[in-house]
Structure formats: C-alpha cells, structure tokens
C-alpha cells in the first residue's frame, strides 16, 4: 500500500477541516485495528476551530457563537480527552494512530500521554527551548510568570488504537486563544515557537515536521509512517476499506 508521505507541503496543502479529520481518524483507526496499516503519524493543520473535549469546556468560551462565527471560527464537540482548545493555521497538529496492544506503552494511556509530552519536549530541546511538564496539567509548557503553554494534548483510544494527539503552536497567530480559557486554566498563558525563538532560528515547516517525527519515534519506541494533510484521505481510499 502506498502512503503519500514526507512531501514538503505548503501550509495550505496540510490543511484539513476539523470535522473531516474526525471521520478520517475513525477510518485510520479501523485500518490499524485490522492490521491493514502500521503505526501512523498524521501531521496537518486546521482552519480556525475551537474544540470542546470529553471534559466539556463550553463554560470556558468567552465569546458567543455568533461572535465566533463572525470571526470565522468554528466550534466543534470532539470525542478526544481533555477540555477546550483552539486550532489555527500555522499550528502543527499531530494525530498518532498507534496500537497500544504491545510495546512500551502497552495498554497504558497515561504513559502514552507522558511519552507524547516527552517527544515534544525533545523537539523543543533541539530548537534551544526548555520545555517541561506541570503536574496535573497535560501538555508541554515553557517557563515564565505565568508559565506559557506551547503544546496542548488530548487523545482517544479505541480497542487500544490511539487517535487525536497534540497541537504544537508554531507560527499561528494565537488570536483564537483570546476567545477561550485554554484547557480551563486561567492562571497560565499560551505561546508559540515563533514567539519563543529569534526569527533566524525558527525552523522551516518541513524541518519542524521532521523533528516531530524523529522525536516521537524515539519517545514512543515505534516506527511511525508519516502522512501529511489530505494524504490521509487518499490512504483510506487506497486501502479499499469496507464501507469507506
């Protein structure tokens, strides 16, 4: 089976509507459960979207639906874990489709989350940024007063195959975060790689995706086939998935 992967990709070529990504993730999970594909890492971007996780988060919306609509921001309820967060163009989103039935994270979703954090912390370290965890607050942070969240995480696990994953603020404007209390945490801020790094040290998008791939393979201890943007849909079609 051919997987369209490792293309250079403009921001537009990586962009996938959030609601469409939910359907595609379900299909990718089914493929992984049947063994039709190996472990995958889907890298993409979303248009402006606020998502409400399994923990809710509607109470952390700071603007009305009409106000958000006028700003071109969609609001979507999602089955991933966690609270409210925001997606924007320029943010790198990663959805690992990984079988936790064996390996280092065998049937341990909490360990899996820590390994995702470890991978993103490794990416930051290679870029000269010290990232860290905060006990009880899933995600990756940069030190400051208050601390600044640079990567949000929320996952789902279906028959021990994962979906959803992380959103790493890269070159996104962060404007959408002003419409929410991110993850329901009011005593912290958000940041991005573009804000934390000198302009000359901000990596090209292709290089960032490469670093993420390498560090997640290392932290999770598995080989990950990368698919980017709309390639996920092509993979589902090529698989001849029943009912697709």
Question: What's residue 56's pLDDT?
Answer: 65
Distance, CA of 99 to CA of 135 (rounded, Å) = 26
Note down the domain range covering 218: 11-238
What's the pLDDT score for residue 1? 31
Q: Which of 7, 86, 157, 183 is catalytic?
A: 183
Residue 240: predicted pLDDT? 65
Q: What angle do CA 230, 47, 166 make, to 5 degrees?
A: 75
CATH number, domain containing residue 165: 3.30.930.10
> What's the rounded Cα separation, in Å, for the pair 167 and 35?
27
- Regions of the chain where pLDDT drops below 50: 1-10, 241, 244
Judge whether 1 lies within some domain: no
Beta bridge partners of 71: none
231 is a domain residue: yes
Question: Catalytic residue at 86?
Answer: no
Would you give the end-to-end CA distance of the chain in angstroms? 16
Q: Would you say residue 16 lies in a domain?
A: yes
Residue 187 falls within a domain, yes or no?
A: yes
- pLDDT tens column, 67-85: 988 999 999 999 898 888 8
189: phi then psi, degrees, rounded to nearest 5: -120, 175
Number of domains in the chain: 1
Burial track 74-85 (b if 16+ CB lie within 10 A, e otherwise)? bbeebebbbbbb
> How far apart are the C-alpha atoms of 229 and 136, rounded to whole Å?
32
- Cβ–Cβ under 8 Å, residues 207 and 215: no
Model-wide pTM > 0.95: no
Q: List beta partners, residue 226.
A: 41
Query: What pLDDT was estimated at residue 185?
Result: 64
Q: What is the pLDDT of residue 2?
A: 31
pLDDT at 215: 98
């Amino acid at each position: 089976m051919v997987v369209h992967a490792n293309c250079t990709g403009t921001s537009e070529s990586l962009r996938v509507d959030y609601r469409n990504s939910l359907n595609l993730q379900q299909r990718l999970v089914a493929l992984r459960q049947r063994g039709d594909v190996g472990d995958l890492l889907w890298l993409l971007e979303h248009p402006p979207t606020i998502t409400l996780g399994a923990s809710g988060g509607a109470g952390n919306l700071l603007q009305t639906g009409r106000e958000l609509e006028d700003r071109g921001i969609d609001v979507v309820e999602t089955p991933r874990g966690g609270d409210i967060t925001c997606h924007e163009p320029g943010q790198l989103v990663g959805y690992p489709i990984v079988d936790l039935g064996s390996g280092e994270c065998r049937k341990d979703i909490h360990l899996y989350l820590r390994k995702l954090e470890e991978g993103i912390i490794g990416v930051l370290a290679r870029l000269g940024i010290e990232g860290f965890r905060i006990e009880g607050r899933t995600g990756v942070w940069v030190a400051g007063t208050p601390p600044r969240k640079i990567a949000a995480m929320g996952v789902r696990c279906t028959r021990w195959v994962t979906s959803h994953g992380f959103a790493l603020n890269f070159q996104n404007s962060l404007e959408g975060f002003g419409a929410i209390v991110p993850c329901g945490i009011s005593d912290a801020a958000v940041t991005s790689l573009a804000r934390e790094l000198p302009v000359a040290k901000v990596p090209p998008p292709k290089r960032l995706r490469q670093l993420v791939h390498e560090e997640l393979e290392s932290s999770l201890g598995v080989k990950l086939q990368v698919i980017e943007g709309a390639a996920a849909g092509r993979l589902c079609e090529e698989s001849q998935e029943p009912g697709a």
